[in-house]
Copies of this chain bind each other. A is one copy, B any other.
């Protein structure tokens, strides 16, 4: 690693495609350099057979899903909130361990935005406990303003054109 190594806080937000995907691209690059990586997904269910999960398994990248596959449309908000909390506790453990070069909290803006987790204590915890050289990526729409202020690198993905508009369904290996 170069001398100037500083662990970045990276946020990929906006309404377009590519927020999680760009995080997985960084994972790919980081894995290429032999970095130690942990991914925690906050919305996707444990049972989903996503291309990225298959790839991570093949590469031996540590990967956790804490969501129930439901979202802000969930009918059982206690369950959704409990899962977000469980995911966040796992994230705290992994981040604080100092064992990783890169941690990805995928779709972590949703628990913050919808109030399943209190945003300010979460951000304060990150500020205090993130190891200085560890990179942390947070993805999802509606990133709280306080998170954007705190972040080093923020990209907004905007949808210009989507195949749904032409009636084309999501394609395996590309969108999931």
Contact = CB atoms under 8 A, between A and B. Distances in A.
Interface of A: 1-2, 4-6, 8, 10-14, 16-18, 20-33, 35, 50-59, 101-102, 135, 148, 151-163, 166, 168-169, 171-174, 176
Given A21-B25, A23-B25, A25-B27, 7 more contacts: A8-B168, A18-B25, A22-B22, A29-B50, A32-B55, A32-B173, A154-B161
Contacts of A4: 168-169, 171
A161 B157 contact: no
A174 B18 contact: no
Number of copies: 2
A153 B161 contact: yes
A157 B156 contact: yes
A151 B162 CA distance: 9
13 contacts: A2-B171, A2-B172, A13-B160, A17-B22, A18-B18, A26-B174, A28-B28, A29-B55, A29-B173, A32-B53, A33-B51, A152-B161, A153-B161
Contacts of A28: 24-25, 27-28, 51-52, 55
Nearest to A1: B172
A176 B1 CA distance: 12
Given A157-B18, A157-B155, A52 B24 contact: no
Contacts of A102: 173-174
Given A29-B21, A152-B168, A14 B173 contact: no
Contacts of A24: 24-25, 28-29
Given A18-B18, A160-B155, A173 B101 contact: yes
